[in-house]
Amino acid sequence: MQSLTPILIVDAIEPCLDFWKRIGFTVTVEVPDGDALGFVILNNGPVEVMYQTRASVAKDVPSMADFPSSSILYIHVTNIDEIIAAVSGAPVLVPKRTTFYGATEYSVREPGGNAVSFSEVSSHAS
């Protein structure tokens, strides 16, 4: 295996873009679908996220258009306080906490409705 990239299926992509840009992601690919975006790829270093609209999926792979799914993106970061500041205003799902295994975590819902958890592990955690 070489990599794993989530594709998040949403009603509209445009409302989601600012959330990712605020934490350092850039749009590397945009595919229009009529007057709106149908697909995008966002990248920040080795981390990549894709979005596709339900309408675009219905045209591309109809069998997956109404595919029920729920997921949580779990992103390792080097400075969780910077991330918390950058995503302020996003609905908080899990306030900043320290886990039993030493990670500091914080989770929000991004504008597309998906859960995104951020995790910072100190050098002392095992």
DSSP the chain: ------EEEES-SHHHHHHHHTTT-EEEEEEEETTEEEEEEEEETTEEEEEEEHHHHHHH-GGGTT-----EEEEE-S-HHHHHHHTTTSPEEEEEEE-TTSEEEEEEE-TTS-EEEEEEE-TT--
pTM greater than 0.75 (yes/no): yes
Percent of the chain scored above 70 by pLDDT?
A: 97
**Could you tell me the domains of the chain?**
1-68 (3.10.180.10), 70-126 (3.30.720.110)
pLDDT in tens, 53-108: 999 999 998 888 777 777 899 999 999 999 999 999 999 999 999 999 899 999 99
